[in-house]
Amino acid sequence: MPSRTLFGALVRSSSSSPKFDNINSNPHSPATHHSLLPPEYYLHTPPKSRSQESLVSMEALKRHSLVPRHSDKKSPKVHPHKPAKLDMIVESPPLVMYNGPQASTGALFSGQLSLTVIDPEVKLEKFEMQLLAVVSTKRPVVPHCQDCANKTSEIHKWEFLEAPISLKMGDHYFPFSHLLPGHLPATTHGHIASIDYHLEAVAITSTGEKITYSRDLLIKRAIMPGNDKHSIRIFPPTNLTASVTLPPVIHSIGEFPVEMRLSGIITNKEQAQTRWVLRKLNWRIEETQRFTAPVCAKHATKLGGENRGVKNEDVRTVGHAEVKHGWKSDFQEGNIDVQFHASCDMALKPTCDMDSASGMDVKHNLIVEMVVAEEWAPLKKPNQATPTGSARVLRTQFHVILTERAGLGISWDEEQPPMYEDVPASPPTYMEDIDASHLSDDSDGLYHI
């Protein structure tokens, strides 16, 4: 596997494009919400003061740090009485961002938190939930440094209470919703880095007890299929030209058709013809994963300062085959027409294309290799060909976009029923008995009923 590591690559300064609502950032800043640029959240430094507001963050950070799990076992298992418990009902459909980060209208996430009060009464001082993005890498700048390996950012925070409230025994529901911005990268589990989303809710009672709830949130992206893509490649010094038709997107499951015409295969002289014949064709789908691993504040000097990272690249083949036959050669027109089906190897778990300013991107190329051999044939007897002994390998590649299947491909803004404010206050009225006599002289009037 080719793998490269370049030290000291400069990463853009975080101040140039704030995207995610970082733990540090001002939630009232409009720039945080209106920027069209993709997120670049990992560049922010962790908060220095741990205020009340970042209470959930600290809990969440602790939970998602990769501190060895066995440390839990050392402490005796105590199950203190909890005055209440939390659960979640998700009401929105699976979270799918349709189209690319710049074009996507995002995905609507909504549901209710249910708080079941077990005690006769509970007074809540605070009740909030965070949506967190965690970018983690298997190749941190400093091995075993959790701060180099993981970056957690707040995407959104819901605060359910304006003031402390008392809740009686029973179930209490707290609805929530948020339009996840379309630029958020999809949940991605790559070879070098991963992006995950978590929801972390915490209710704090007046006696300081914490009732917590957490769950993972899966975000997918589906690039909608459009028109087929046509590409032309030339192979100097020969006269060969390949024109290729490919689907606009491909999927990890299922085949996709590749159509190719090789032109310029014949050279006619006075008495004879030289021509290229296709001997063999190989294709493979290559996946390139890249991640710029950030450095934590503590280890910044390792790379000569903050806002620097280490570029990692991993290239692997996620599907390949040899096409042995099935092409047609036309020595009159000078073309070879090839059609074949390509596909990814599902067992290799290909990763969908993505490009995030978290420093991570995943791309795919279809690489086609053809072996052509030269033949000589008299024009009078074109079927009596003799190999000249000359052969070439033609190699070319095409960018393909591997994405989730779009399914119905309806984004949240198209499938939502009309909002209440869009609906007229009362249904349209119908007149039962129309006296149209006054309209008889004015046919236009009919249109006003």
Positions touching Zn ion (CB under 5 A) are 142, 145, 147-148, 296, 299
* Identity of the residue, 145 or 272, whose beta carbon is nearer to Zn ion in the bound complex: 145
Closest CB 295 distance from Zn ion, rounded Å:
6
Task: Tell me the C-alpha distance between 292 and 43, whole Å.
Answer: 11
39: helix, strand or coil? coil
Task: Tell me the C-alpha distance between 320 and 340, whole Å.
Answer: 12
204: helix, strand or coil? strand
Task: Tell me the C-alpha distance between 414 and 410, whole Å.
Answer: 6
* Identity of the residue, 46 or 225, whose beta carbon is nearer to Zn ion in the bound complex: 46
Closest CB 135 distance from Zn ion, rounded Å:
14
Phi–psi pair at 234, nearest 5 degrees: -115, 155
Strands (E), 248-271: 255-263, 266-268
Task: Tell me the C-alpha distance between 400 and 231, whole Å.
Answer: 12
* Identity of the residue, 147 or 196, whose beta carbon is nearer to Zn ion in the bound complex: 147
Closest CB 148 distance from Zn ion, rounded Å:
3
* Identity of the residue, 242 or 296, whose beta carbon is nearer to Zn ion in the bound complex: 296
Nearest of 362, 323, 318, 368 to residue 343 by alpha carbon: 318
Closest CB 147 distance from Zn ion, rounded Å:
4
Burial of 270 (0-12, 13-18, 19+ CB in 10 A): exposed
Structure tokens at 142: 């400093």
Closest CB 196 distance from Zn ion, rounded Å:
20
Burial of 208 (0-12, 13-18, 19+ CB in 10 A): exposed
Task: Tell me the C-alpha distance between 202 and 157, whole Å.
Answer: 11
Structure tokens at 323: 């096409």
* Identity of the residue, 145 or 224, whose beta carbon is nearer to Zn ion in the bound complex: 145
Structure tokens at 389: 């002994």
Closest CB 300 distance from Zn ion, rounded Å:
8
Pair type for strands 165-180 and 107-137: antiparallel
* Identity of the residue, 24 or 238, whose beta carbon is nearer to Zn ion in the bound complex: 24
Closest CB 145 distance from Zn ion, rounded Å:
3
* Identity of the residue, 137 or 205, whose beta carbon is nearer to Zn ion in the bound complex: 137
* Identity of the residue, 150 or 187, whose beta carbon is nearer to Zn ion in the bound complex: 150
C-alpha 239, offset from chain centre: 40
Phi/psi-derived region of residue 8, left when phi > 0, alpha when psi is between -120 and 50, beta in every other case: left
Task: Tell me the C-alpha distance between 196 and 180, whole Å.
Answer: 14
* Identity of the residue, 309 or 319, whose beta carbon is nearer to Zn ion in the bound complex: 309
Closest CB 187 distance from Zn ion, rounded Å:
25
With beta carbons less than 8 A apart as the criterion, state whether 108 and 184 touch. Answer: no
Closest CB 152 distance from Zn ion, rounded Å:
14
Closest CB 292 distance from Zn ion, rounded Å:
15
* Identity of the residue, 145 or 348, whose beta carbon is nearer to Zn ion in the bound complex: 145
With beta carbons less than 8 A apart as the criterion, state whether 259 and 283 touch. Answer: no
Structure tokens at 233: 């490649």
Taking residue 50's Cβ as centre, other Cβ atoms within 10 Å add up to: 11
